[in-house]
Amino acid sequence: MGLCSGGLDSILAGLVLRRQGIDVVWISFETPFFDAEKARAAAAQTGIELIVKDITDRYLPMLAAPPAGYGQFVNPCMDCHALMFRIAGEMMEELGADFLFSGEVVGQRPMSQVKPSLRYVEKRSGYDGYILRPLSAKNLPMTPMEEKGLVDRDQLCDFSGRSRKPQMALAKQFGITDYPAPAGGCLLTDAGFAARLKDLMAHRQKWLRRELDLLKYGRHLRLDAGTKLVVGRNKAENEQIARLYDPEADTRIRMNQMAGPLGIIVEYTAGACIRQAAAICAGYSKAAGDQPAEVEVTLPGEDARVISVVPVNPEIASQWMILSCR
């Protein structure tokens, strides 16, 4: 059973084992921070069976306090990999599989794929001795799977470092020509998303799933410790924000009889920021900057009411914007 991101390395790891006659099954995980779309494409291309599992409930406690800490942003890569192998190991036992594998390459990433980090992941996973890395196996100690003859070490690889040329050459041998670029698909490594998540972590102890999904859309402005305003930047984002809006818990703000952004305050508790939030939303609309504008405000569980505000210039509103991590 292999961890599959859908990238070239995980594709090749599966094919290298299948070439030996080993039955291969992939598992790919989903959270609000990454999905399995690339893995689904890889499975369709190779014919390897894929299991997709949402692990959000188990992922969030780890994300809040990863033992190995974060990378450049809020990416707990080492503890993330350990958790994935732990969950995959549990499924390995349920399905009667013999071992786990991944497409990791020694030295490809300077923090999470050096030998000490790989050992950390093995030990923390709870499945030390069951993890094989086919693309770098010859650069790593022999595993019990190889010693038992389940896997032929001579048919495994000795890739290392950041060069992609060996993988590309192997892909050509397998006839694999369609694979994604090596750029990461995890939002936890994105500077803008990381800043929004850090703000959320600083102001709320428990995070709703839709709060995490909202981090992907719109402008995010911190008005006070208990109030964050999310404002759509275009029609598509307005639609996504509307999809995540809960009328029983959130405050909705939109222009009255005029096109403009949709704004929401998640889990809003009564405070002094409603008029400020309405004025900010109006500032991002086509309302005249120096004239009062009518804005529709809907508090949680209540009917909409219209208030009049003077739009706040976006340049002034930028002082409340949650900006990218540096």
**Residue 37, domain CATH:** 3.40.50.620
In order, the DSSP letters of 191-243 are HHHHHHHHHHHHH-SS--HHHHHHTTSSEEEEEETTEEEEE-SSHHHHHHHHH
Between β-strands 263-265 and 251-255, what pairing exists: parallel, antiparallel or unpaired? antiparallel
Residues 298 and 213 in one domain: yes
118 assigned to some structural domain: yes
Residues 154 and 110 in one domain: yes
325 assigned to some structural domain: no
Q: Which amino acid is at 159?
A: F
43 assigned to some structural domain: yes
**What's the half-sphere exposure (Cβ side, CA atoms, 13 Å) at 17?**
30
- What is the maximum span of the chain, computed from C-alpha positions, in angstroms? 79
Residues 225 and 84 in one domain: no
Q: How far apart are CA 218 and CA 230, in angstroms?
A: 6
Residues 200 and 313 in one domain: yes
235 assigned to some structural domain: yes
Residues 133 and 72 in one domain: yes
What domain count does the chain have?
2
Residues 297 and 173 in one domain: no
260 assigned to some structural domain: yes
326 assigned to some structural domain: no
- What are the φ and ψ backbone dihedral angles of 229, each rounded to 5 degrees? -105, 130
pLDDT of residue 184: 66
pLDDT of residue 271: 67
210 assigned to some structural domain: yes
Residues 141 and 209 in one domain: no
Residues 180 and 228 in one domain: no
219 assigned to some structural domain: yes
Residues 280 and 234 in one domain: yes
Residues 84 and 196 in one domain: no
pLDDT of residue 238: 97
pLDDT of residue 270: 66
| Final residue before a domain boundary, out of 165, 186, 207 | 186
Residues 206 and 180 in one domain: no
- Closest to 296 in 3D by CA, of 250, 262, 246: 262
Domain span at 71: 2-186
Residues 116 and 214 in one domain: no
pLDDT of residue 257: 86
Task: Provide the β-strand partners of residue 31.
Answer: 34
Per-residue pLDDT of the chain (326 residues; tens, 9 = 90+): 999 999 999 999 999 999 999 999 999 999 999 999 999 999 999 999 999 999 999 999 999 999 999 999 999 999 999 999 999 999 999 999 999 999 999 988 767 789 999 999 999 999 999 999 999 999 999 999 999 999 999 999 999 998 989 999 999 999 998 888 776 689 999 999 999 999 999 999 899 999 999 999 999 999 999 899 999 999 999 999 999 999 999 999 999 988 999 999 998 766 678 999 999 999 999 987 789 999 999 999 999 999 999 999 999 999 999 986 54
| Final residue before a domain boundary, out of 134, 152, 186 | 186
| Final residue before a domain boundary, out of 186, 203, 238 | 186
